[in-house]
Amino acid sequence: MVKVGLTGGIGAGKSEVSRLLASYGAVIVDSDRIAREVVEPGTPGLAAVVAEFGEEMLRADGTLDRPRLGALVFSDPERLAALNAIVHPLVRERSAALESAAGQDAVVVHDVPLLTENSLAPLYDLVVVVDARPETQLERLVKLRGMSEDEARARMAAQATREERRAAADIVIDNDGPLADLEPRVRELWEDLRAR
């Protein structure tokens, strides 16, 4: 088994790299998806979030109001730390279970947005960073995700710097260009991972 930590700043294209790797046969352990699962209605995770942040973080249907919570925590480092203290242990537990279920010859890619921020690089055989210039990230967040420029900048500022992410990388995939330029780079990465 090869354990890969995949990360990148918001809007850099990490999710697209993850999607491509999955299409080639990688086992993807997606921390964002797991983070959503552990706060679904009826879970201990959602109960803990409500206890910490209040009932106003719930929608009428009982689901977490993620945009509202995000607007609160991404502008306040202390509140973000409180949320992370609830969600991260639950994500780690589920991620470990998914990894242990993969075959011994699997390439397991842990898609972890906050890998650098949480000093998780030592958990993986190698770390792949998807990188884009901050201007590219900002443009993608505003145009493709519909964020306001202020919200996008706040999300970017809440993450590790580009330099910090690159320093943690064993492999950097530059992704400032169009999607068509990304696929050959990811295919080359896949061949390298399979060879390991």
Do 20 and 112 sit in the same domain of this protein? yes
* Structural domains in the chain (count): 2
pLDDT given at position 99:
92
Spell 154-168 as b/e; 16+ CB within 10 A means b: bbbebbbebeebeeb
Do 100 and 110 sit in the same domain of this protein? no
pLDDT given at position 40:
97
pLDDT given at position 74:
81
* 31 located within any domain: no
Do 121 and 187 sit in the same domain of this protein? yes
Do 170 and 116 sit in the same domain of this protein? yes
* 33 located within any domain: no
Structural domain containing residue 169:
1-26+106-196
Do 111 and 100 sit in the same domain of this protein? no
* 153 located within any domain: yes
pLDDT given at position 7:
96
* 77 located within any domain: yes
Using the structure block, give the residue that is written with the tokens 């700043």.
9
Do 127 and 176 sit in the same domain of this protein? yes
- State which of 66, 87, 104 marks the end of a domain: 104
Do 96 and 116 sit in the same domain of this protein? no
Do 192 and 121 sit in the same domain of this protein? yes
CATH number of the domain bearing residue 121: 3.40.50.300
The structure tokens listed for 18 are 């993850």
Do 127 and 194 sit in the same domain of this protein? yes
pLDDT given at position 83:
96
pLDDT given at position 5:
97
Do 91 and 139 sit in the same domain of this protein? no
What is the spatial distance between Cα 7 and Cα 14, in angstroms, rounded to a whole number?
A: 6
Do 92 and 143 sit in the same domain of this protein? no
Beta bridge partners of 127: 5
- State which of 51, 73, 104 marks the end of a domain: 104
Which residues in the chain show pLDDT less than 70?
Answer: none
Q: How much is the pTM?
A: 0.82
Using DSSP, state whether 132 is helix, strand or coil: coil
- State which of 58, 82, 104 marks the end of a domain: 104
